[in-house]
Chains A and B, each alone.
Chain A
């Protein structure tokens, strides 16, 4: 399977703990996106990378959140001092961005469901 993969699929943690999620994009894709989806809502953009550079961060991404893509391949999303409001599905997507927005079809992974107790 050469799709986008995410690990873990489920994470249960206690408030105040740190958690880290991993996303492996489709291998030739240069763009990687993180979205957050809360119950009953559509996904909301968090951040994206082009290769290893983090080009945009949403205001939703508080100081407790940090994302990296050190070698332009996989990415990690870390949440420090988790709060109950962080409970959500965290979705990763990747795309092969060219010179036109037409190229930007995003392929999504299965998501990591975080529950903060």
Chain B
């Protein structure tokens, strides 16, 4: 069985400030990890993914995430956010099969 826990449901942040979104997963098998972003009334867009190799993964729009196997975490970070980063962010895993299992999401609101 696998589950994804996003520890923060809402994250307000000021423009140009850093942001970190926390994600923990549980799985009995090796997993592949993803972060998706969803803008209002749109589908999901892949920000970044961890498949293997370097534990620090860089994605689009200046986002990066670090895979920590011992802590079963995959936290997402951005050093300086923009108003346009206001969106819903989802952490997801693919465990032993092919379907994505998502967390409940974190709403990021960037204020000027």
Give A residues with C-beta under 8 Å from B.
4, 6, 31, 33, 35, 40-45, 48, 56, 91, 93, 95, 97, 101-102, 104-111, 113
State how many angstroms separate the Cβ of A28 from the closest Cβ of chain B. 17
| Contact assessment for A91 and B44 in the assembled complex, using a CB-CB cutoff below 8 Å | yes
Specify which of A42, A45, A91, A105 is in contact with B46 (CB 8 Å cutoff): A105
Q: Cβ of A95: which chain B residues have Cβ within 8 Å of it?
A: 98
**8 Å CB interface, B52-83 against A:** 52
Q: Cβ of B97: which chain A residues have Cβ within 8 Å of it?
A: 56
11 further interface pairs, Cβ-Cβ under 8 Å (given A42-B90, A108-B45):
A6-B43, A33-B100, A42-B4, A42-B92, A43-B100, A43-B102, A56-B97, A102-B51, A108-B36, A108-B43, A111-B43
Specify which of A42, A97, A111 is in contact with B98 (CB 8 Å cutoff): A97
In chain A, what residue has the closest Cβ to B91? A42
- Asked if A104 meets B98 with Cβ closer than 8 Å, knowing A40-B104, A41-B104, A42-B105, the reply is yes
Counting from the closest, the 7 A-B pairs by CB-CB distance are: A42-B102, A108-B43, A108-B44, A45-B99, A110-B43, A42-B90, A43-B102
Q: How long is the Cα–Cα vector from A108 to B36 in the complex, in angstroms?
A: 10
In chain A, what residue has the closest Cβ to B102? A42
Q: Cβ of B100: which chain A residues have Cβ within 8 Å of it?
A: 33, 35, 43, 45, 93, 106
Query: Could you jot down 7 A-B contacts, CB within 8 Å?
Result: A33-B99, A42-B90, A43-B90, A48-B98, A91-B44, A101-B94, A102-B51
Q: Cβ of B44: which chain A residues have Cβ within 8 Å of it?
A: 43, 91, 93, 108
